Structure formats: structure tokens, C-alpha cells
A and B are shown apart, each in its own frame.
Chain A
Amino acid sequence: MNSLIITLIVVLVLAVFLIIFRISNLAGILRSKGKDVEEIDTTANNINAYLFLLLPLLGTIAAFWYAAKHATLWGQPDAVSHGAAYDSLSKVAHIVIILMFLITNAALFYFTFKYRHKKGNKATFYPDNTKLEIIWTIVPAVILTVLVFTGWKLWRDVTKDAPSNAMLVEIMGKQFNWIARYPGSDNKLGGFNFRYTDDVNEMGLDFTDKNVNDDFQATELHLVKGRPVRVQIRARDVLHSVSFPHFRQKMDAVPGQPTKMWFTPTKTTEEMREELRKNPEYLKPDPSTTKGKPEDVKARWETFDYELVCQEICGRGHFSMRMRVIVHDEDDYKKWLAAQKPFVESNKEYVAKKIEAITKDKAGKISIENSKKVNKTN
């Protein structure tokens, strides 16, 4: 019944509009009869001109007002050694482009308004001016060059090789979660082969490689404040992307082509929560906690966590492919580390069987290779 009424109302409103349109149309035709030359409708022309002045102005004011109102919210808080450099570069570049945006749009709309058609006016015949052209080729070029060079420096700092004291972690993406692998006490990650993957050995580890023995896996990423971390990245099935918004880093995970990144976290999770507690934007409730009982409601600073965000479309579960990241101080990290057990130790029986299978597989390959050679010589 409701939908019937709504449909009827919509139909009626449309019909009214149609009638108004038709009447104004016919009236227009009547009015223009008797004039031989089609004249420009000055009223409509002026309305448009004033709107060009008014609406962009209102829009800009509204945008700036809203941006200022939540000024401490925008972006994500940074917790990485190159974060300050990144944020200041971003700030400078944004100020430059906002100025460009304002000046050029203002000129556009002001000229549009000012030089609206007036009866008897004639436009100025002004086909070119080489000097002007040169100026506005060179000025943007210079501004861009300055921006480029500051960006280039940061880019090289971020993409250069990790420092030698960096800790090593491997992150593997698969539909639809992440697995981290730590190298253990030898600080070496053991080898892997995607063909050895199964439900238990999710990362396809090659257990015949001695370096695997002390590697351990985690579903949350644990890092240390102040210690650079070198992340080796791979994907098991399709493209994924390792994105750390708070660490201003991002790198795709590509099947068959390992990638890498490094960065240095500068604040522990706890420190960051305390810092955010001072920000009024983070005193608001986390919307995901407001649906239950009132006592369950938590503020945003309380539910804050560093996160790994999947940023390359990877299928059905792309939007929820999250990994929690915890930054410890040295002591806490050591405690956590002590509680971790190497994969090989906690899956002894499985690993023994798997080593057999892998050894057979390797031998089989050799024999296939050999038989091929034999065939060729025949």
C-alpha cells in the first residue's frame, strides 16, 4: 500500500513537471514570435553568471569550514621515522595545489561572471601573446621541479636498502588473510616452494632447509619501537598489497615475484593510544562498539591499533583482509619472542612426513630430468 502511494505521488509530481515544462515551452514560442532576430535572454544569462560567482564561493567556504572543524582528524597519525618528512612534504605540496586550485578557479569564475554578455558590448579580439604563454609555461614548470626534487629525495630515502641492523619479517598474503614469518635466532628465513603448500604448511616451507627449523609464524605482526624492520613480501594466489597507513609504507604482494620494504616504527601501540587520547577526535565512540550495551562503548583511542590494510583488489574478502600490528618496546618484544615456538617444533610429526615427501619430490625431479636427458641422447 505504501509503495503504491509513493509510486502515485512520484507519477503525479512527474506529470506536473511535464505540464509546467510544456506550458513554459509554448509560452516561450509565443514570446519569440514577432521578433525576427533571436535575442539573447539576458535574465537567464545573468542568473547563470551570478550562480557562477555564488555557488563556487559557498562551496569553497563550506569545504574549508568542514576541513577546519575536523582538522585534527584527517589522515592517519604517523608512527614511523620518515613520517614527519612525509607529512611535511604532503603539507607543502597540498598548500601549493590548494593555492593553484583557488587562484585558477577564482579567475575562471570571476571572468565568467564579469564578462557576461551585455547588449552592445563587443569582446576583445585577443588571439595570442607569446610573453604570457612563456610565463605560464615556465612558472608551473619551476614549481613542479621544486616539488619533484623534494619528493625525489624522500622517495630515495624510503626505497633505499634497509639498514644492516634491521630485523627481518616475511609477510605472505593469501585469500583472505596474512601470515607473518619470523626468522628465529639465526636471523635467516628458510627456503620455500609454493608446491609444498598444504593446509598445515600454509607458507610452503621447505623443511629440508636447515634455516627453516627456528622460523616461527604469526597471524599478528609484532614489531619493536625504534628498530628498523625489513619486510619481505610475497603472495600465494593473487595480487595483494601490504599497506601500513600509519607507517606511510605500501608495497604490492605479487605471486612469483617477491617484493620488499622497510621502515622504523617510532611509537609503541600503547604510546600511540595515549597520544590519541589527547585528540578530541579520538574521544568520540568507535561506531562498531555503539550497537551493544552502553558500558561496551569504547572511544576511538581505546580501539586504536596499527593495521595492515590490503590495498589491491584480491577477491570476495578483499575488504576484510586485515592484520593487526603491535609495536612493542624492547622488553615486551622479548617477552613475546620467548613465547613463540618454531613451526617445526610444534608440528613435529607433520614435518617428518613432509620432509620425506619433499625429498622424494626433489629426487623425482632429478630422475625426470635424467630420463629426459637419456631420451634426448637416444
Chain B
Amino acid sequence: MASDVAHAHDVHAHEEHHEHHDTFITKYIFSTDHKMIAKQFLITGILWAFVGGLLSILFRLKLGFPDMDYSWLKPLLGKWVSMQDNGTGQLDPEFYLAMVTMHGTIMVFFVLTAGLSGTFSNFLIPLQIGARDMASGFLNMLSYWFFFASSMIMLASFFLDGGPAAGGWVVYPPLSALPQALKGSGSGMTYWLVAMTLFIVSSLLGGINYITTVINLRTKGMTFSRLPLTIWAFFITAIIGLLSFPVLFSAALLLVFDRSLGTSFYLSDIFINGQALDHTGGSAILFQHLFWFLGHPEVYIVLLPALGITSEIIATNARKPIFGYKAMIGSILGIAILSFIVWAHHMFVTGMDPFLGSIFMFLTLIIAVPSAVKAFNYITTLWRGNIRYTPAMLFSIGLVSLFISGGVTGIILGNNALDIYLHDTYYVVAHFHLVMGSASFFGMVAGIYHWFPKMFGRMMDEKLGYIHFWMTFMGVYLVFFPMHFIGIAGFPRRYYEFSAYAAFRDEVYLNLNSFISIAAAVTFGAQLIFGFNFFYSIFRGRRATQNPWNSNALEWTAPINAGHGNWEGQIPFVYRWAYDYSKPNCEKDGFTDFIPQNVPYSMTPHSNLPHENEMIEIEKEEMIPHDTTLSTLSVLAKK
């Protein structure tokens, strides 16, 4: 339904249009409502997550059970399973690489960038800062549809004759530039490049909107120092994306030139398939520099929103203010700035000048400090809390654990001397899957559980949520923890099998690999529980109350099924930060254990801190006389 506010305006403006009903197309497809666009991103992201997860199970089977008969997967994989004389099916090694590549691309970009930022930045920014919508609803809509087009092209590449791109998600040339070198570098790679270009467009359109909205459309009283940490995280993430995605675009563009127009940006001195190519003077390393100039900030593009979501959920469910709000903002800023000057730690063994390697080692290890501060602050937030375990809270605590466990190995890998041995081994796979992949995924799932009532007006089933969490949490550790051992043994990434090397032929490693694969399959199975819970609850879940988690943030003051425009009547003003949980003496002011952001200090004389009492005068002069929402406030705030 259109919002009543917009409705009222329409009645005034054009009398003949007073029947202002959205059609199916304007409401669900070409919607400009940020909430609907967020849901579009979310559902697309969830579907992609299942595709990406399924791919990982398919190739994990090969790694865990090298002699497995793939013939039962022939109906799904078609010609990529070749039948042997003895009747067993063999997975094609190039399709194995294609699956690894697409798993990475899908998870990093389509799930954890679009699915996470796209969903929650869109959904929460206007609702939490008190805006009716994004600065430009139209650009926002375009952002989704570019993402959708990108998705369709990427999906289509699976059905190409040569298969999808297969040179790893980093698509290093010359491998990705030469169809002679790899089937997937033919039209599969072309599709990849086109899809990623559209994705970058989508990302930039979204990012510009997020930044503009946060800067310009905050409601009265919502200063930057009162923004919830979610918004800080989304805001900084958007800035990182805006600065780094264009570099990926240029890297991709030069790769397109090299592939199609015969230029030599990345190619030089190549003899392949009995033929010396004409390319001279290019540098394959240049691509890596450009790629990782995006690629490393991308890690934080993926992670920061998850950390922002976690901050909000942990504070709400521990019933405590987030510890060190300013330090949290400081560390987000620190991480954001440092993320741009650490990229070459992905390239310690590319032949880069060793001196440059030293510089990047120092810079890389500095970034561990703000990350550590964040972890400590989360732990302190839990200390002496009164913790309620909603599924969202469970996933947030899980995130902190994964963030620590994956983060500490970064100290090893960032140390370039130690990286020589561990570079491109399963140690790296374990590291980033914990700290970036799983942690961000947990943030995304936590966000879904937490804001589901706001999105769909219904609750997800908590018990299924608990089962989902424990299976996923244990599963993630069982999958990625053993990978450290395999990594320390030097097992290389992106290997179809390991039997060629005496160094890797040990039954312990074989067993560990089988164990990991089984754990991965079970963990993936647990996600089906989530899928069921999610889609079932959209239609049949219990109806949500106005503020089911007793949260302070502004989104819970909006109607349960808010229309386009979010609030009926005036947008509430903001008088305080979002973390006044369990404030001393708040009972005397008539509140249980939380004071929402739209409650003026003048209504809470008993619980105000000294500097907050000073704000009362300003409030009374500048804000309260104009705030028409205050009359209904007591009903909302006091349960």
C-alpha cells in the first residue's frame, strides 16, 4: 500500500489521482521504496547464497572423496561429468576450477556485498536515521536492476559451452585473458566481465545513495554522534566502495581490451598452444595491483556492515550500551583508511620488490589493532549484561568468535616471512573463510533474524533459528578449523586432487579432507532449515509486535507494516543516542530498561547524566515545540 502521507499529498496535488494504489509492478518489481528494494536484494542474495553454497558442496565432494563416482550428478552437471570405461563418472578438472571460481565470485560479490550491504543499507539507513526514503528512489531502483541483470548474466554463463569463468575469483591474467589456456577464459570470462561491470554500476549507484542519504536526510536531532553503529558502518562501507570499485572497473576494462582489442596491458612474452603471441611490454602484476586495490577494501566492504549489525544486536540483546561507542567509530574509520594501503600483502611472493613487501607487512599488521579493539569492545559489552538469546543474538556472538578465530591467523599471514610458506595454501582458505566469509555471513543472518519483523511484519520461528545457529556455528568451525592443519602441511588452493605429491599423501590428511567435506555438507543442510523458516515465516509466521526486541533505534517507532514513506505523520525527532539500555534510574522515569532515541531528556529527569541535563534547555527551545509525535510517545515507549 502507498503510504498515507504520500496519499494525502496526492489528494491535495491532483484530485483526479486520489485512487493512488500501487500496481503489482510498481509495488513488487519496479519499486522505488527502499524497503521493497532491500527485500529484493535480500531474496536475490539468499538465492545466490544457496547456489554458491551448493557449488562448494559439489567441489568439496571431490576434495574429500577423490575417488568418488560422480555419475549420479550427471543429470545436474551434464557433460562436465565424463563417464569412464568402468562406468564411473569423473568430474572435469576445468569445471572443478569453474565451480571454485564461481563459488568465490558469487559469495564475495553477490551474497556478501549485494545481499548484505544492498539489503541492510537500503533497509536500515532511512529507517534508522529517520528519512522517508533514500535520497533518490529511482537510482536505488536502478541499483537493484543492474544487480539483477548482472546476476542473470553470471547465471547464464553456467550454461555456456565452455562453462563459466574458471581462473579463480581473482581472474589473474594471462590465464583469464587467453581462451587457449583455459576453456572458461573464453565466453565464460566475457560473461564474467560484463556481469561484474554491471555489478560495479549497481554498487556505485547504491553507494552514492547511501552516502547522500546519511549526510542529508537525517531527522532533526540525529547528529553523527547519535547515529547507530549500523549506520556508521554502512556509511563508511559505501565510501570505501565508491573509492575502490572504480579501480576494479578499470582493471576489468583493461582486461577486456587485452582480450578483445589486442592491447598488451597485462600480457607479455607469451607462447601458448604452439604459437607466440604478439603481446609485448604488459605486466601481469599490474592487474594484481589494480585488483587488490579493490580486493582488499572489498574484504571490509563485506565485513563492516556485518560488524555494524552485530553492534546493534549485541547492545540490544545484552540490554547494555555498546561499549566504547566512539572507539567503535574510530576503529571503523581506522580500518577503512588502512584498508586502502595494505593491498600488496596479497602479493608478497609475486616478485614484488622485497622492500615494498616490508612496507606492506608493517601497514598490514597495524590494521590488526583497530580490529582487536572492536573484538574487545564486543566482549566488554556482554560483560555484566542481561543477555537474551534471540537467534540474531546467537549469530552475533558467533560472529565475534569467528572474527577473532579467523583474525588471529591474519597475524601469521600478514607476516611476510611466514607468508612465503603459507601463501596460497589452505591456511589462507581457512583464514578468510572464518574472518571474512563466515563472520560476514553470520552478520547477514543475524540481521535477517533481527529485522525480519520490521521487514515482513511477522516473526521467524525461534526454535528453528536455534537449531540453524548451532548447526551452522559448529559446522563452520568443523569445516574451517581443520583446514589450518592442511594449510600448515602446505596443501595448495584450487587443486583438483592432491595425489600427485608425495608430500600430501598421508591418510591423516585424507581423513581430514573427508571430515571437512562431510561437515560442509551438514552445514549446508542446516541452511535449508533457514530457507524454510524464512520463506514460511513471510507468509505464516507469528505476527510481530511494534518493537519485539525492546530496541531503542528509530525503525521500531515506525508502523509494523510501514508504507512508502515509513512514518505516518511527522518523522520522530531524535534526542539521544541509540544505546540507552539499562540506564540507572530509568524505572523512575517510567521506562523498563530501555529509552528509545525519540524520547527527550526532559522526559527522563531521573536517569539523565549531568551533561545530558544540560541538553534539556536546548531541546525545549529548538525541538520539542515542533515535535508532534511526542503526544503518542508515552504509549510507544512505556509498555
* Given A117-B386, A238-B181, A287:B270 Cβ within 8 A: no
Q: Are A128 and B379 in contact (CB under 8 A)?
A: no
- Name the A residues within 8 Å of B502 (CB-CB): 286, 300, 303-305, 307
* Chain A, Cβ-Cβ closest to B270: A255
A57 beta carbon closer than 8 Å to chain B: no
- How far is it, in angstroms, between the C-alpha of A148 and the C-alpha of B389 when the chains are bound? 39
The one of B269, B464, B548 in contact with A255, judged by C-beta atoms closer than 8 angstroms, is B269
Q: Are B323 and A127 in contact (CB under 8 A)?
A: yes
- Fill in one digit per residue for B261-289: 1 if any A CB lies within 8 Å of its CB, else 0: 00000011111101010001111110000
- How far is it, in angstroms, between the C-alpha of A117 and the C-alpha of B507 when the chains are bound? 46
The one of A37, A93, A145, A310 in contact with B412, judged by C-beta atoms closer than 8 angstroms, is A93
The one of A67, A89, A199, A286 in contact with B274, judged by C-beta atoms closer than 8 angstroms, is A199
Which residues 95-114 in A have Cβ within 8 Å of B in the complex?
A: 96-98, 100-101, 104-105, 107-109, 111-112
A243 beta carbon closer than 8 Å to chain B: yes
Q: Are B174 and A318 in contact (CB under 8 A)?
A: no
Closest CB in chain B relative to A272 CB, distance in Å: 11
Closest CB in chain B relative to A164 CB, distance in Å: 19
Q: Are A75 and B489 in contact (CB under 8 A)?
A: yes
Q: Are A322 and B500 in contact (CB under 8 A)?
A: yes
Which residues 106-138 in A have Cβ within 8 Å of B in the complex?
A: 107-109, 111-112, 115-118, 121-129, 132-133, 136-137
* Given A128-B326, A254-B284, A320:B500 Cβ within 8 A: yes
* Chain A, Cβ-Cβ closest to B582: A123
Q: Are B387 and A89 in contact (CB under 8 A)?
A: no
A144 beta carbon closer than 8 Å to chain B: yes
The one of B167, B268, B282 in contact with A313, judged by C-beta atoms closer than 8 angstroms, is B167
A312 beta carbon closer than 8 Å to chain B: yes
- Fill in one digit per residue for B579-599: 1 if any A CB lies within 8 Å of its CB, else 0: 101111000000001000000
* Chain B, Cβ-Cβ closest to A324: B502
* Given A156-B354, A252-B351, A300-B505, A44:B386 Cβ within 8 A: no
The one of A100, A118, A152, A281 in contact with B408, judged by C-beta atoms closer than 8 angstroms, is A100
B626 beta carbon closer than 8 Å to chain A: no
- Name the A residues within 8 Å of B494 (CB-CB): 313, 318
- Name the B residues within 8 Å of A128 (CB-CB): 323-327
- Name the B residues within 8 Å of A319 (CB-CB): 93, 495-498, 500
- How far is it, in angstroms, between the C-alpha of A352 and the C-alpha of B153 when the chains are bound? 53
B358 beta carbon closer than 8 Å to chain A: yes
* Given A67-B485, A126-B384, A237-B181, A313:B411 Cβ within 8 A: no
- Name the A residues within 8 Å of B463 (CB-CB): 24, 44
Closest CB in chain A relative to B334 CB, distance in Å: 10
Closest CB in chain B relative to A48 CB, distance in Å: 4
Q: Are A108 and B489 in contact (CB under 8 A)?
A: no
- Name the A residues within 8 Å of B357 (CB-CB): 155, 159
- Fill in one digit per residue for A146-178: 1 if any B CB lies within 8 Å of its CB, else 0: 011001101110111000000000000011000
B97 beta carbon closer than 8 Å to chain A: yes
* Given A67-B485, A128-B324, A257:B284 Cβ within 8 A: yes
The one of B280, B495, B507 in contact with A318, judged by C-beta atoms closer than 8 angstroms, is B495
The one of B93, B175, B358 in contact with A156, judged by C-beta atoms closer than 8 angstroms, is B358
Q: Are B404 and A76 in contact (CB under 8 A)?
A: no
- How far is it, in angstroms, between the C-alpha of A245 and the C-alpha of B424 when the chains are bound? 12
* Given A38-B545, A252-B350, A319-B497, A287:B418 Cβ within 8 A: no
Q: How many residues of B contact A (CB 8 A)?
A: 124
Closest CB in chain B relative to A174 CB, distance in Å: 8
- How far is it, in angstroms, between the C-alpha of A21 and the C-alpha of B384 when the chains are bound? 35
B124 beta carbon closer than 8 Å to chain A: no
Which residues 286-331 in A have Cβ within 8 Å of B in the complex?
A: 286-288, 300, 303-305, 307, 309-320, 322
Q: Are A123 and B423 in contact (CB under 8 A)?
A: no
- How far is it, in angstroms, between the C-alpha of A93 and the C-alpha of B488 when the chains are bound? 13
* Chain A, Cβ-Cβ closest to B279: A256
- Name the B residues within 8 Å of A241 (CB-CB): 349, 424
* Chain A, Cβ-Cβ closest to B477: A59
- Name the B residues within 8 Å of A195 (CB-CB): 271, 276
Q: Are B272 and A236 in contact (CB under 8 A)?
A: yes
Closest CB in chain A relative to B597 CB, distance in Å: 15
* Chain A, Cβ-Cβ closest to B490: A245
- How far is it, in angstroms, between the C-alpha of A122 and the C-alpha of B376 when the chains are bound? 22
B561 beta carbon closer than 8 Å to chain A: no
Best-surrounded residue of A37, A307, A315 (most CB of chain B within 10 A)? A315
* Chain A, Cβ-Cβ closest to B275: A197
Which residues 37-55 in A have Cβ within 8 Å of B in the complex?
A: 37-38, 40-41, 44-45, 47-49, 51-52, 55
- How far is it, in angstroms, between the C-alpha of A67 and the C-alpha of B488 when the chains are bound? 12
The one of B405, B461, B492 in contact with A309, judged by C-beta atoms closer than 8 angstroms, is B492
* Given A151-B416, A288-B505, A316:B94 Cβ within 8 A: yes
- How far is it, in angstroms, between the C-alpha of A137 and the C-alpha of B327 when the chains are bound? 10
Q: Are A133 and B324 in contact (CB under 8 A)?
A: yes
Q: Are A239 and B284 in contact (CB under 8 A)?
A: yes
* Chain B, Cβ-Cβ closest to A22: B540
Which residues 358-401 in B have Cβ within 8 Å of A in the complex?
A: 358, 361-362, 365-366, 368-369, 372-373, 375-380, 382-389, 394, 397, 400-401
Listed from nearest, the 5 A-B pairs whose CB atoms lie closest are: A256-B268, A259-B351, A159-B354, A256-B269, A245-B490
8 intermolecular pairs with C-beta atoms under 8 Å apart: A52-B397, A63-B481, A123-B385, A123-B593, A151-B418, A197-B276, A239-B284, A259-B351
Residues of B in contact with A (beta carbons under 8 Å apart): 93-94, 97, 167-168, 172, 174-175, 178, 181-182, 267-272, 274, 276, 280-285, 318-327, 349-351, 354, 357-358, 361-362, 365-366, 368-369, 372-373, 375-380, 382-389, 394, 397, 400-401, 404-405, 408-409, 411-412, 415-418, 420-421, 423-425, 461-464, 466, 470, 473-474, 477-478, 481, 485, 488-490, 492-503, 505-508, 510, 542, 545, 548, 579, 581-584, 593, 639
